[in-house]
Amino acid sequence: MLTRRSVLRSTLVLSAGAAASTLGLRGLPQEGKQASLRLSSAASATPVPENFIGLGYEMSSAAQLGLLSAQDTKYVQLVRNLGSRGVFRFGGIVADFTNYAPAGPIRTEPKDTVISRASLEQLRGFLDATGWTAIWSVNFGSGTLEDALAEARAVHSILGPRLEAIELGNEVENYGRGAHPLRKAPWDFPQYLTEYREWHRAILAAIPGLRFAAPDTAASVQWVQEMAGQAHGDVQLLTTHFYLGDQRKATLEQLMQPDPILRGKLEKLRQISHDSGIPWRMCETNSFFGGGHPGLSDTFAGALWTLDYLLLLAQYGCAGVNLETEVNQLGFLSSYSPIRTEADGQVATGAPYYGMLAFAAAGADGAEMLPVEITAPGSELTAYAVRKRGRVRSVVILNWSQENQTSVSIAGLGLHSAQVLRLTAPSLTSKDGEQFAGAQVDAQCRWLPKTGERLESDLITLPAASAAVLRESTGQN
């Protein structure tokens, strides 16, 4: 079997004593089983917004009464476990087949969804209960401007301060493609921008001060760059999507190895945001498109990938990440879902939820990411440091080796007497049995850590295929 170790060894060669700078990327494996971490002097700290964490839903989820409700205290608790501030994004392919009808009737079909006033009022209660805000996509694909104006007015009126921004459509660069295109081909950015500006002017005239997120591409960084260069104040948040690939071709190695495309994409997005002064958000993302791959996306490997992915995007200056969850555009419950509403209506956690819990515990929201170097690596590691109020407050280390445990020195990070919160499971392909800090989410959907493990020295051992959050012990200023 092709392993992550063999892939990296074939592409990277360093002498045994050389340093491998990861900047949040996977370190070079060597034959030893020891590694040391130190803060990099090559790059500056990257601030992380307080509302970085997020979840994404198809628009049909927002329509359904009883699904996202303040009365569902378990669902509310699962969200609040992830942070007191965050962003929901309601859109997806279903958004371009959704209409607003104040009195209903509500429908939740992938190609025929209807949002009612009751849907929006329920959602406002849910947002108030969780403390989160929402990005809302109107039907730019198959709808009319008149309908969009009515929907935007209702969304703005009912969601009020809980409305983060409005999007026009979903994966807009694909409108001229496929068996049933939403625009006549060829459909290019200038055509899109002309139509976008018409809608933007009309909606903004009706709702002064409304914030917009765009262009919401499936993959095109070029369209994001074009939008940033020509936005002229019309866009407050740049948005795009990312998936590892098609779930029908998914492999375990894709979760366990660095993605060959992602790093270049993140570098470009960081530069676009820096040059334009407009923050960017990965507003729809998860492991494999098409709902994820059963037996991969819904396993502990998916949890490790989720944790590393969130930290990596934070390291690259992303303003936030919306991980897709619940029923997808194909009408079934996605295997990659962090939160799952089962057929009997009961809410549960998927394995990726534990990766999100570990990210939340690291306290990156509202802090700064510091690049970490892995020197003399003896295992397959990624590592991240979080700084707050002038010093390192937490460190996250992931051991990607499926075979070897690794001893890691953190002497170069300035973190001492730390609490150790471990992310573990019976195996990489376990669909249950995940634990973070010795605890699972309980029947009331609370996460109550049980571990009393402390790191009193500068050395920590990570078992194969596991992760640990080292968090500054309480009682320090």
**DSSP conformation letters of 11-70:** H----TT-EEE-TTSPPPP-SSSEEEEEE-SSS--EE--TT-EEEEEEHHHHHSTTTS-T
On the question of pLDDT at 347 being above 80, the answer is yes
Identify any residues that bridge with 373 across adjacent strands, giving them in sequence order.
Answer: 21, 38
Check residue 475 and give its pLDDT. 55
pLDDT digits over 78-101, tens only?
A: 999 999 999 999 999 999 999 999
Check residue 302 and give its pLDDT. 98
Check residue 379 and give its pLDDT. 59
4-46+368-417+456-472 has which CATH code? 2.60.40
Distance CA 381, CA 438 (A): 22
Which pLDDT band, with edges at 50, 70 and 90, does 108 fall under? Answer: very high
DSSP state of 43: S
Cβ-in-10-Å burial (0-12, 13-18, 19+) of 105 comes to: exposed
Place of tokens 């879902």: 337
Share of the chain above pLDDT 90, in %: 86
Q: How many CB atoms lie within 10 A of CB 60?
A: 28
Domain map of the chain by residue range? 4-46+368-417+456-472, 50-362
pLDDT digits over 182-234, tens only?
A: 999 999 999 999 999 999 999 999 999 999 999 999 999 999 999 999 988 89
- What's the length of the chain? 477
How high does pLDDT run on average in the chain? Answer: 91
pTM over 0.95: no
Name the range with the highest mean pLDDT among 19-28, 136-145, 405-414: 136-145
Q: Does the fold of domain 50-362 match that of domain 4-46+368-417+456-472?
A: no
Query: In terms of CATH, what superfamily is 50-362?
Result: Glycosidases (3.20.20.80)
Average pLDDT over residues 140-156: 98
Check residue 365 and give its pLDDT. 95
On the question of pLDDT at 137 being above 80, the answer is yes
